[in-house]
């Protein structure tokens, strides 16, 4: 009987023990479930943490030389870029230029041929001769009307015809000048089916869109002339950084595709408009002539804003994802698992060392300072 009671007691203890273990397991599972509820949480087991060489650290006050990165391209002001076209149409002749050739203002770039150019000149000669007749008639009638030999009505008709033709001849002369033809030469019988297209500015020829024998339509671009004597940097600063740059500030810049050598430029203008990309246009002039600069080259520039103590983390703590910057905060280390939360922060990019944390975050927490790039998509 005693043996039977002992078996019952032992079995009861086993049932209670199993129940307690199940409750403990369920409790741990609930805790894990509570921690992982947030969609921002990332989990790493102790083994994963060790094998991945991850590292935690705290925010530190670092004395860093801060700088703002501004990118853009080499450009020239619009008034030093000339689009070559013609207000007349015809076939291209006498073009001996290639892209990159230097040209002077007033130099003939090519000629256009069209038989209608002869008609323009013949009309001018005809109208000019008609004007001479109408002018003589007008002057004669002006004397006669004084003596009441002709009526005022007759005189007004002669005057109107004379003034209309004078306006027409003046317009014809302007058209000839636009065709780079001298009206005096035309009146002397020097007519031509060719007109010269000349350079309006000095510079280099770019973007040639024509060739000998091709037909150039009215107001179609034949080529561009760019004057690089006034070359400058056209840069775009982020809206959040624009309060850190001012007119007359000095920037350092380089052309990544050519050289890491740094040059200096002075900010000469800052736009008052924020564009659709939340950027502000900045114009800067290089402080000395740089021979290899070409229009369209990509430029990377930096505005240095001095040293100051700033809450910072190693640059390896910052992760880019979907055009946002994150750091990973340790929420809890429990059950051999690290629970990390992504926090979107503002910062200024740096190439090495420490990078500032410009958002309000918990400086007592620990953050992943190594390996974040591998686990954030």
- What the block records as the tokens of 45 is 């087991």
Choose the weakest-confidence range: 1-5, 116-120, 258-262: 1-5
Going by C-beta distance under 8 Å and a sequence separation of 6 or more, which residues neighbour residue 59?
A: 311, 312, 313, 357, 361, 363, 367
Q: Does residue 107 contact residue 198 with C-beta atoms inside 8 Å?
A: yes
Over residues 216-236, the mean pLDDT reads 92
Domain 68-78+227-307, architecture per CATH:
Beta Barrel (2.40)
pLDDT tens-digit series, residues 67-108: 788 999 999 998 999 999 999 999 999 999 999 999 999 999
- What the block records as the tokens of 87 is 């207000």
Q: Does residue 159 contact residue 140 with C-beta atoms inside 8 Å?
A: no
- The predicted pLDDT at position 229 comes to 86
- The predicted pLDDT at position 334 comes to 94
Over residues 324-342, the mean pLDDT reads 94
Question: Can you spell out the DSSP letters for 140-192?
Answer: HHHHHHHTTSS-HHHHHHHHHHHHHHHHHHHHHHHHHHHTT--HHHHHTT---
pLDDT band at 377, cuts 50/70/90?
low
Any idea what DSSP says for residue 255? Answer: -
Higher pLDDT, 375 or 326: 326
CATH 1.10.287 is the classification of domain 116-183: yes
Q: Does residue 66 contact residue 305 with C-beta atoms inside 8 Å?
A: yes
pLDDT band at 18, cuts 50/70/90?
very low
Q: Which residues pair with 251 in a beta bridge?
A: 265
Phi/psi at 2 (5° precision): -65, -40
Percentage of residues in the chain having pLDDT higher than 70: 88
Going by C-beta distance under 8 Å and a sequence separation of 6 or more, which residues neighbour residue 362?
A: 329
- The predicted pLDDT at position 94 comes to 93
Domain boundaries, the chain: 68-78+227-307, 80-114+193-225, 116-183
- The predicted pLDDT at position 33 comes to 41
Q: Apex CA 85: angle with CA 84 and CA 86, to 5°?
A: 140
- The predicted pLDDT at position 230 comes to 86
Look up the pTM and report it. Answer: 0.59
* Dist CA 311 CA 346 (whole Å): 12
Name residue, tokens 């002077």.
104
How far, in whole angstroms, is CA 355 from its chain's centroid? 27
Topology alike, domains 80-114+193-225 and 116-183: no
- The predicted pLDDT at position 29 comes to 41
**Residues found in the chain:** 377
Q: Does residue 71 contact residue 300 with C-beta atoms inside 8 Å?
A: yes
Over residues 48-70, the mean pLDDT reads 87
**The pLDDT of residue 23 is above 80:** no
Name residue, tokens 């000149």.
121
pLDDT band at 193, cuts 50/70/90?
very high
pLDDT band at 197, cuts 50/70/90?
very high
* Dist CA 118 CA 121 (whole Å): 5
Could you say which of 1.20.870.10, 3.40.50.720, 2.40.50.100, 3.40.50.150 is the CATH number of the domain covering 80-114+193-225?
2.40.50.100
Q: Does residue 257 contact residue 74 with C-beta atoms inside 8 Å?
A: no
Over residues 345-362, the mean pLDDT reads 85
- The predicted pLDDT at position 22 comes to 42
**The pLDDT of residue 335 is above 50:** yes
């Amino acid at each position: 009987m005693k043996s039977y009671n002992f078996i019952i007691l032992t079995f009861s203890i086993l049932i209670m023990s199993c129940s307690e273990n199940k409750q403990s397991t369920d409790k741990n599972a609930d805790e894990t479930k509570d921690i992982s509820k947030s969609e921002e949480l990332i989990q790493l087991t102790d083994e994963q943490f060790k094998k991945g060489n991850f590292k935690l650290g705290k925010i530190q006050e670092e004395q860093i030389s801060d700088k703002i990165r501004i990118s853009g391209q080499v450009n020239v002001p619009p008034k030093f870029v000339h689009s070559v076209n013609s207000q007349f149409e015809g076939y291209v002749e006498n073009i001996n230029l290639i892209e990159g050739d230097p040209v002077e203002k007033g130099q003939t770039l090519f000629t256009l041929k069209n038989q209608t150019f002869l008609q323009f000149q013949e009309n001018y000669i005809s109208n000019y001769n008609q004007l001479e007749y109408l002018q003589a008639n007008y002057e004669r009638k002006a004397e006669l009307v004084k003596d009441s030999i002709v009526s005022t009505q007759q005189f007004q008709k002669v005057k109107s015809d004379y003034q209309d033709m004078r306006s027409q001849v003046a317009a014809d002369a302007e058209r000839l000048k636009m065709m780079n033809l001298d009206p005096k030469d035309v009146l002397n019988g020097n007519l031509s089916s060719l007109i010269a297209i000349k350079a309006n500015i000095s510079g280099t020829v770019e973007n040639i869109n024509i060739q000998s024998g091709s037909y150039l339509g009215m107001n179609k671009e034949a080529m561009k002339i760019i004057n690089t004597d006034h070359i400058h940097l056209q840069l775009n600063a982020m809206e959040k950084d624009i309060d850190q740059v001012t007119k007359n500030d000095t920037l350092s810049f380089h052309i990544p595709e050519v050289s890491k050598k740094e040059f200096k430029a002075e900010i000469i203008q800052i736009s008052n408009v924020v564009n659709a990309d939340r950027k502000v246009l900045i114009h800067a002039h290089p402080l000395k002539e740089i021979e290899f600069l070409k229009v369209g080259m990509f430029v990377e520039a930096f505005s240095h804003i001095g040293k100051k103590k700033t809450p910072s983390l190693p640059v390896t703590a910052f992760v880019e994802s979907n055009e946002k910057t994150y750091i990973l905060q340790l929420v809890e280390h429990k059950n051999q698992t690290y629970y990390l939360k992504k926090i979107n922060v503002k910062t200024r990019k740096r190439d090495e060392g420490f990078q500032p944390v410009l958002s309000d975050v918990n400086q007592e927490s620990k953050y992943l300072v190594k390996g974040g790039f591998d686990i954030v998509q």
